[in-house]
Chain A
């Protein structure tokens, strides 16, 4: 009898949930052939085992080593296509997740990989830009700048060398889609960067990967070596030189000018713009710096056409957004859907409501610089415009749900302490403002606030918002101010008011 092939995710979060434990228990059983895949993103179901059956792919969620007998007998599994969390998604960038082996070029190509690059190779640079223009893709790192415009500027700026840089410094807590992409489908990122290189005329690229993601850096290095061997990196007759650069734990290095300084080996501090990196970036040369997710979206756009991509989503937020749900929900995980669903709907339909025994108090969208929403304000459509109108950001798509045991003063202090720790120190509003604001919140937390402390916080916040050099200082007040706006009594209690 031949061995039964069982699929187990090799993603860091799946392993943290226990897939490695299952693999260790079963690896020496001759009846089992293990295939380690990318993750589906339904992390609440991990460790999940899958196998192919005559009726399709079947899954055994939250499996234990003892479950092997019934899995091999085909008993008690759930058809993957009937898992509601997955069935209700529109997977574009994450279409192959949970299916393919991350470092197998054969798997990648068999599931449509490389089609975008093949199309791009037959197009002029302007043709590639036109496809992106039609797609209306906006940068997925947080700033939401039109991608084709950035690429066009880099293409049209004359220079002896140009660079393509993937921003893999996924620093916003609550986000992990870049990590999943790099670990789970590294060829997709490489393909997106190559398409960019063809469009702007670059011969070198870097992936700036944060130090906290060792598995992602290893997967990328292995995939680059594989791509080099197979000829995938051929770029108009030359080999596109692509390297992984591992950072050293600084949040602000996710800001593009700080990232470039860090890539050059200097202190990763922010500089004033213009000039923008697309004009003068790495070593003063035109450089496209885009988020991992942005590059990973490009191959699908080239393969299926810009108009197709633009047919998804809302008027000014086209395509899909991979949301990452975390915190005190029942079903944390990755959800890729077209823009436009409300936050409430996403939390209900995908998040599955609150974890047992927990009551919702606050939801933060867009990382540590994102605004907080109370339960009464969740009826907001997930798209760039609605969030901008509310003074909020979508950022990199992280959604964190806090329960009613959360002390909002303590949380606000956590945010300001974070900014004070991570401020690069170049501009005064952020460097000093964050420390002063943290001190005020320390006082309030200790019940020793002064009567005008909340007015002082509002004043400091205004200065930080208007005069900071980058989004770290300019956005840092938002989670604090929205906490005061919606849970003011908690602050007034400690502020002597």
Chain B
């Protein structure tokens, strides 16, 4: 795994780009540890407030480590029209966690996403980078089984 120092070395662009840097840090650690913030700010010649401002603005930047697999239920209008609410309920029931939470064994984090662009093959569930379409509540057990 790359060290924070090595990541920051690669991110020394002119002018510095806070979002790009935070995405690079998250790319390695799966989240942005708060302990890394002073070093990130120093490397980018920005204030910690600037860095935290960007970090907390973007929904996909994480301040806590997610589970091994990220499940995102699409709640875009086309999936809403295809009654994705039933899917959300079934997933929460299967995993016994609420939206935004991670299972105690660290296997899954459950989130909503606003449209994965699979509107013609919905309702959609994105697990890591895989988009699954036409997902029925009854399919969920088999679907999750392939993500260890």
Set B22, B23, B78, B134: member contacting A173, Cβ < 8 A: B78
**Is there an interface contact between B115 and A246, defined as CB atoms closer than 8 Å?**
no
**Is there an interface contact between B120 and A326, defined as CB atoms closer than 8 Å?**
yes
Chain A positions 344 through 368: 1 when the CB is less than 8 Å from some CB of chain B, otherwise 0: 0000000000000000000010011
Q: Which B residues between 51 and 95 are near A, CB-CB below 8 angstroms?
A: 53-54, 57-61, 75-83
Chain B positions 100 through 132: 1 when the CB is less than 8 Å from some CB of chain A, otherwise 0: 000000000000011111111110101001011
User: Is A337 close to B, CB under 8 A?
Assistant: no
**Is there an interface contact between B120 and A324, defined as CB atoms closer than 8 Å?**
yes
**Is there an interface contact between B122 and A326, defined as CB atoms closer than 8 Å?**
yes
User: Is B16 close to A, CB under 8 A?
Assistant: yes
Minimum CB distance partner of B119 in chain A: A326
* Cβ distance A187 to chain B, nearest Cβ, rounded Å: 20
Minimum CB distance partner of B83 in chain A: A405
**Is there an interface contact between B118 and A262, defined as CB atoms closer than 8 Å?**
no
Measured in the bound complex, the distance between the Cα atoms of B76 and A169 in whole Å is 14
Stretch of A12-20, A86-94, A104-112, A224-232 at the chain-chain interface: A12-20
Chain A positions 150 through 179: 1 when the CB is less than 8 Å from some CB of chain B, otherwise 0: 000000000000000000001111111011
**Is there an interface contact between B114 and A17, defined as CB atoms closer than 8 Å?**
no
- If A43-B120, A265-B21 touch, whether A173 touches B77 (CB-CB below 8 Å) is yes
User: Is B20 close to A, CB under 8 A?
Assistant: yes
User: Is B36 close to A, CB under 8 A?
Assistant: no
Set A173, A269, A325, A405: member contacting B115, Cβ < 8 A: A173
**Is there an interface contact between A13 and B131, defined as CB atoms closer than 8 Å?**
yes
List the B side residues contacting A43 at CB < 8 Å. Answer: 120-121
Chain A contact residue count (CB 8 A cutoff): 59
Minimum CB distance partner of A424 in chain B: B57
Q: Which A residues between 373 and 388 are near B, CB-CB below 8 angstroms?
A: none
- If A248-B23, A248-B59 touch, whether A13 touches B120 (CB-CB below 8 Å) is yes
* Cβ distance A141 to chain B, nearest Cβ, rounded Å: 15
List the A side residues contacting B80 at CB < 8 Å. Answer: 173, 402, 411, 414
A-B contact count (CB 8 A): 144
- If A175-B119, A246-B23, A327-B81 touch, whether A265 touches B16 (CB-CB below 8 Å) is yes
* Cβ distance A333 to chain B, nearest Cβ, rounded Å: 5
List the B side residues contacting A12 at CB < 8 Å. Answer: 116-118, 131
**Is there an interface contact between B119 and A324, defined as CB atoms closer than 8 Å?**
yes
List the B side residues contacting A268 at CB < 8 Å. Answer: 57-58
User: Is A267 close to B, CB under 8 A?
Assistant: yes
* Interface core residue of A212, A246, A333 (most chain B CB under 10 Å): A212
Measured in the bound complex, the distance between the Cα atoms of B124 and A374 in whole Å is 26
User: Is B15 close to A, CB under 8 A?
Assistant: yes
Measured in the bound complex, the distance between the Cα atoms of B16 and A13 in whole Å is 36
User: Is B17 close to A, CB under 8 A?
Assistant: yes
User: Is A59 close to B, CB under 8 A?
Assistant: no
- What 7 A-B pairs have minimum CB-CB distances, sorted nearest first? A173-B76, A16-B133, A265-B17, A249-B60, A327-B81, A326-B78, A248-B58
12 extra A-B contacts, CB within 8 A, seeds A12-B118, A176-B118, A368-B77: A12-B131, A13-B133, A173-B114, A214-B129, A215-B129, A247-B60, A248-B19, A248-B60, A265-B16, A325-B120, A327-B77, A422-B114
Residues of A within 8 A of B (CB): 12-13, 15-17, 43-44, 46, 170-176, 178-179, 211-215, 245-251, 262, 264-269, 283, 324-328, 332-334, 364, 367-368, 398, 400-403, 405-406, 411, 414, 418, 422
Provide a sorted-by-A list of 21 A–B residue pairs whose CB atoms are within 8 angstroms: A16-B131, A16-B133, A171-B115, A173-B78, A173-B119, A176-B118, A211-B60, A212-B116, A250-B57, A265-B20, A267-B53, A267-B54, A326-B122, A327-B77, A327-B78, A327-B119, A367-B77, A398-B77, A400-B77, A414-B75, A414-B80
